[in-house]
């Protein structure tokens, strides 16, 4: 579970659900008894049985809808329930709760002394916001932006960086210094390492020229002929599940955009990646990743 998977839209959904929960304990109907305050009935809340089905159709439906939308962010991509994702089920419930709230404002007892209470009005506002955010989040870039930025923490590998595994910070590496873990300039995943540098010709005593002597490889760069894997930093464009190295189908973590991770090995098209807390797993989908 990665809390940085939440978006701004998810934050709006959570806020609407909290407001809806508070409104359920406030008066759902208000009575105007005039001077006869002694015989005036007590204002009911949304939890009163006599208001059924207000509780399940307005308050519980909206809260469950928000829970489904948020829970969908922590599930692997493509997981569905009866053909729909959790966020889609949550959106349907949110629209249904907003529709029910709207009609309770215009319905109810046909008595002049009865009017909507504070809880009923707040429930309508919360459900309208919840439904609007649930519908617009997948289509609005501003709502799809991450709710929390990546933490500004030092790299566990000792380099002064902006965040975990952030490569290429100005002043991080001096010319000619060994590249940590073979890190190279940012390039798409799968790019071949740089070619060896130019060769030098060693003069002989008789004035001739000997065979060109290859320059030694740069520090931190493995020999190309050996085919050894060189660890590198990378970032994912979207949330990607990280599976256990033993091949089990259950994800052990989720890689989020905006964070650099360390690829420590390669297994065919997949990568063995290491997260911020030191967990290792297999990233099966490496399409579109940015190499650092």
| pLDDT one-digit tens code per residue, 242-266 | 998 888 888 888 898 888 899 999 9
| pLDDT one-digit tens code per residue, 198-229 | 444 445 545 454 444 444 443 334 333 345 78
DSSP 122-168: HHHHHHHHHHHHHHHGGG-HHHHSBSSPPP----TTS---SSTT---
Residue 234 to residue 69: CA distance in whole angstroms = 29
192 against 42, higher pLDDT: 42
What pLDDT was estimated at residue 98? 95
CA dihedral 230, 236, 237, 238 (to 10 degrees): 160
The pLDDT-based confidence of 110 (bands split at 50, 70, 90) is: low
The pLDDT-based confidence of 35 (bands split at 50, 70, 90) is: low
pLDDT mean over 53-69: 94
What pLDDT was estimated at residue 224? 39
Residue 126 to residue 119: CA distance in whole angstroms = 10
What pLDDT was estimated at residue 69? 93
What pLDDT was estimated at residue 57? 94
Mean predicted lDDT score pLDDT of the chain = 76
What pLDDT was estimated at residue 258? 84
pLDDT exceeds cutoff 70 at 190: no
Q: Which of 46-55, 61-70, 146-155, 166-175 has the lowest mean pLDDT?
A: 166-175
Domain span(s) for CATH 2.30.30 in the chain: 223-292
CATH topology of domain 223-292: SH3 type barrels. (2.30.30)
pLDDT exceeds cutoff 80 at 9: yes
**244, 270 in Cβ contact below 8 A?**
no
Q: What is the percent of the chain where pLDDT is above 90?
A: 32
The pLDDT-based confidence of 161 (bands split at 50, 70, 90) is: very low
What pLDDT was estimated at residue 169? 45
Smallest CA-to-CA distance from 58 within 88, 89, 93 is with 93
Q: How many CB atoms lie within 10 A of CB 249?
A: 8
Domain span(s) for CATH 1.20.140 in the chain: 3-144
pLDDT mean over 109-119: 77
The phi and psi torsions of 85 (rounded to 5 degrees) equal -75, 165
288 against 148, higher pLDDT: 288
Is the pTM of the predicted complex or chain greater than 0.85? no
3-state secondary structure of 227: coil
pLDDT mean over 81-107: 90
Bridge partners for 209 per DSSP? 203
**10, 71 in Cβ contact below 8 A?**
no
CATH topology of domain 3-144: Butyryl-CoA Dehydrogenase, subunit A; domain 3 (1.20.140)
What pLDDT was estimated at residue 254? 87
What pLDDT was estimated at residue 216? 43
């Amino acid at each position: 579970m990665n809390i940085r998977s939440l978006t701004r839209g998810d934050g709006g959904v959570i806020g609407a659900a909290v407001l809806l929960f508070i409104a359920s304990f406030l008066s759902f109907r208000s009575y105007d008894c005039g001077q006869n305050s002694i015989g005036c009935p007590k204002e009911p809340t949304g939890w009163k049985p006599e208001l059924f089905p207000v509780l399940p159709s307005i308050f519980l439906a909206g809260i469950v809808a928000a829970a489904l939308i948020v829970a969908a962010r922590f599930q692997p991509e493509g997981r569905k329930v009866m053909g729909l994702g959790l966020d889609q089920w949550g959106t349907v419930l949110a629209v249904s709760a907003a529709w029910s709230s709207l009609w309770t404002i215009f319905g109810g007892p046909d008595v002049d002394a009865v009017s909507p209470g504070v809880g009923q009005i707040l429930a309508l506002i919360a459900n309208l916001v919840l439904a609007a955010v649930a519908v617009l989040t997948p289509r609005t870039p501003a709502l799809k932006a991450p709710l929390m930025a990546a933490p500004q923490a030092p790299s566990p590998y000792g380099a002064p960086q902006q965040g975990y595994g952030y490569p290429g910070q100005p002043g991080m590496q001096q010319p000619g210094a060994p590249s940590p873990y073979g890190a190279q300039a940012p390039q798409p995943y799968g790019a071949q390492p740089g070619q060896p540098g130019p060769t030098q010709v060693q003069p002989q005593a008789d004035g001739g020229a000997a065979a060109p002597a290859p320059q030694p490889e740069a520090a931190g760069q493995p020999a190309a002929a050996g085919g050894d894997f060189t660890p590198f930093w990378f970032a994912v464009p979207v949330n990607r599940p990280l599976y256990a190295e033993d091949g089990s189908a259950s994800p052990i973590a989720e890689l989020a955009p905006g964070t650099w991770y360390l690829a420590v090995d390669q297994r065919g098209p997949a990568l063995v990646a290491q997260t911020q807390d030191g967990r290792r797993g297999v990233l099966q989908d490496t399409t579109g990743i940015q190499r650092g």
